[in-house]
Structure 1
Amino acid sequence: MSIEVANESGIGVDELALISVARFALDRMDIHPQAELSLLLVDVEAMTELHIQWMDEPGPTDVMSFPMDELDTARTPDPEAPGPALLGDVVLCPAVAAEQAEQAGHALDDELHLLTVHGVLHLLGYDHVEPDEEREMFRLQNELLDAWRELAPSARTVSEG
């Protein structure tokens, strides 16, 4: 699985952990092992522009997802099914995440792991507009994060993917 990270936020983050949690979530969701994902970390100004442009909402947000290919091509295929897909981009704003982490009483890394999984699930078609959708998405998000965190730190390395 190819996961690229571009950190344009000006804030140092553990990029390898973001790749690891994203890869773990995609593996657990049976996404083709050769699928491609991009993680982009941006500053408040860039996230504000994206949020206004794509969601028509003011101010920055913590995470946005921009799907690329059809989801059907990304699922683990039958021998006859199409190959891997370009899943899309997950855009994170570490400055907003830092504020949320402080309010929640946990570390920035924990918030970014959560937001990465959240963004990946959006790419896979999950949403939280309706209460039932929200319960399902957040349940799955928590299950994935808990399972990833239970792994020994050495098992969470990127080289295993």
Structure 2
Amino acid sequence: MSVEVSNESGVEVDEAEFAALGRYVLDAMHVHPQADLFVRLVDTATMTDLHVRWMDEPGPTDVLSFPMDELTPGREGDPAGPGVLGDVVLCPEVAATQARAAGHSTAEEMLLLTTHGILHLLGYDHVEPDEEKEMFALQRRLLLTFLAGR
């Protein structure tokens, strides 16, 4: 599976770690090994533009997901078909603010947001309370198991 990371933010990050996380989450969610994911890190101005243009919301946000082929999770031994999963766009500056408020590192916040964004690409949402509970528990489990294995 292909996970490309593009850092256009001007903030130094370990791009290899984001690619490894992407591969880990896609594998854990039984996404076809020929699926493609793109992770893009952008500055506040770019994120503000995307947030206004696509969500009709003012100001920057932490993460946006842009699905392409509407892939869904597969099952063990029966992965979802190949295709382009889509793009996860992160704003490190917004993530840094959130990380300080949450009491953890910016890197941890950005890995959490990456996991969150990938789950959105796979069709998960958190509009309803039961959806939120399922999605947030899954993102927590995925991130913790990834971090424990590195």
TM bucket normalised to smaller: over 0.9
- Displacement of 1:146 in angstroms is 1.1
Return the alpha-carbon distance in structure 2 between the equivalents of residues 66 and 96 of structure 1: 19
**What are the within-5 Å matches in structure 2 for residues 133-144 of structure 1?**
133-144=131-142
Return the alpha-carbon distance in structure 1 between the equivalents of residues 136 and 30 of structure 2: 18
* Identity among equivalent pairs (%): 59
Q: 1:99 aligns with which of 97, 100, 121?
A: 97
- Displacement of 1:123 in angstroms is 0.2
Give unmatched runs, 5+ long, in structure 1.
Answer: 154-161
**What are the within-5 Å matches in structure 2 for residues 51-130 of structure 1?**
51-71=51-71, 75=74, 83-130=81-128
Return the alpha-carbon distance in structure 2 between the equivalents of residues 111 and 70 of structure 1: 26
- Displacement of 1:75 in angstroms is 3.9
- Displacement of 1:70 in angstroms is 2.7
Structure 1 counterpart of 2:148, which letter?
Answer: E
CA contact (8 A) 2:30 2:76 kept: no
What are the Cα deviations for residues 70-92 of structure 1, in whole angstroms up to 9, with x where unaligned?
Answer: 315x747989x985110000000
Equivalent residue, structure 2, for 1:22: 22
CA contact (8 A) 2:71 2:81 kept: no
Q: CA 1:10–1:69 in 2, change beyond 3 Å: closer, same or farther?
A: same
- Displacement of 1:20 in angstroms is 1.0
Return the alpha-carbon distance in structure 1 between the equivalents of residues 47 and 116 of structure 2: 16
CA contact (8 A) 2:70 2:122 kept: no
Return the alpha-carbon distance in structure 1 between the equivalents of residues 70 and 58 of structure 2: 29
Equivalent residue, structure 1, for 2:34: 34
Aligned length: 150
- With structure 1 as the length reference, what TM-score do the two structures score? 0.87
Give unmatched runs, 5+ long, in structure 2.
Answer: none
CA contact (8 A) 2:44 2:60 kept: yes
